[in-house]
Amino acid sequence: MRRGEPVRGVWLALPSVESARLMARMPADWLVVDVEHAPVGAETMTRMVAAIADARGPAPLVRLASPGVENVKRALDAGAWGVIGPMVNTRAEAEAFVAAAKFPPVGQRSFGSAWAGLAFDVAAPDYLRIANEQTIAMVQIENRAALEHLDEICGVPGLDGVFVGPVDLAISLGLGPDSDSRDPDFRRALDEILRAATAAGLPAGIYCSSPEAAAERLEQGFVMVNVATDVAVLSQGVRDRLA
C-alpha cells in the first residue's frame, strides 16, 4: 500500500473458524473479520484471526465494533495485523484510536498478550519491538461529519490509512444505502477523501460490493479493496446452483 500497489481482500461476516481457514488459503492479500455488523464475539474473532495467521497467507485484519480501547486491544492482542476503527469523525477520535493501537512512545497501548506475537511468529519481546511498524491502524470514514475534518483526521501521527464505508457515507448524505452510488455528491465525497489521504501520504481503502466495483475503485485511486464478501458469495452461489 505504501508503494501505491493495490491489495485485494475478502470480507468475512460468517462467525466461523472453519470458513476463515478455507478463505485463508485463497490468493488474497488480506481478510477482514467483521466484528461490527456480524455476530462475531471476542473468542470467535480470536480463533478466526489465529486460523488466518497460521495459514501464512492473507493478512488477518479486524473491523471493530467501535474504535474504543477495549475493542482495539482485543483484536491486536489476538494477533490481528491491523484494525479498522468505524465511525471516526474528528481528529480527537482518530487520536484516541491511534493511541489505543500503538505502543509508547507513539501511543498508549498496553503490553501483555501471549498470542499477539504468534501471528508474526515472534516472541513477545520481539513483538513489542516490531508491532508499531508492522500493525495497521486505519480509521473508517463513513459520515458527513467526517468530511468536515478530513485533513485533521488524516494528519494524526501514527495513523496508517483511511477506509471508506460507502453505505453509511451514502446514507449520511441522504442518498440511501447504495455503496456504488453515482450521485455527484457521493463522488465528490470520495474525491475529497482521496485528496486528503494522498496529501497526508496515507493509503485509502473502500468496501466494494463486487469485483467490478473493486476494479472501478482501484481505477479511481483507492488501493485497498475487497472483491468478495463471504455471506454474499455463499448466498449467490446457492441461488445459482438452485437455478
In the chain, DSSP assigns E strands to 7-12, 30-34, 59-63, 82-85, 136-141, 161-164, 204-206, 224-229
Q: Which residues of 34-45 are buried (b: 16+ CB within 10 A; e: fewer)?
A: bbbebebeeebb
Active site residue 149: no
Q: Identify the active-site residue in 18, 22, 25, 37.
A: 37
Rounded (10°) CA dihedral 9, 13, 17, 22: -40
**Joined grid coordinates for residue 167:** 453505505
> What does the alpha-carbon distance between residue 181 and residue 6 come to, in Å, rounded to a whole number?
22
> What does the alpha-carbon distance between residue 62 and residue 50 come to, in Å, rounded to a whole number?
12
- Report the catalytic residues: 37
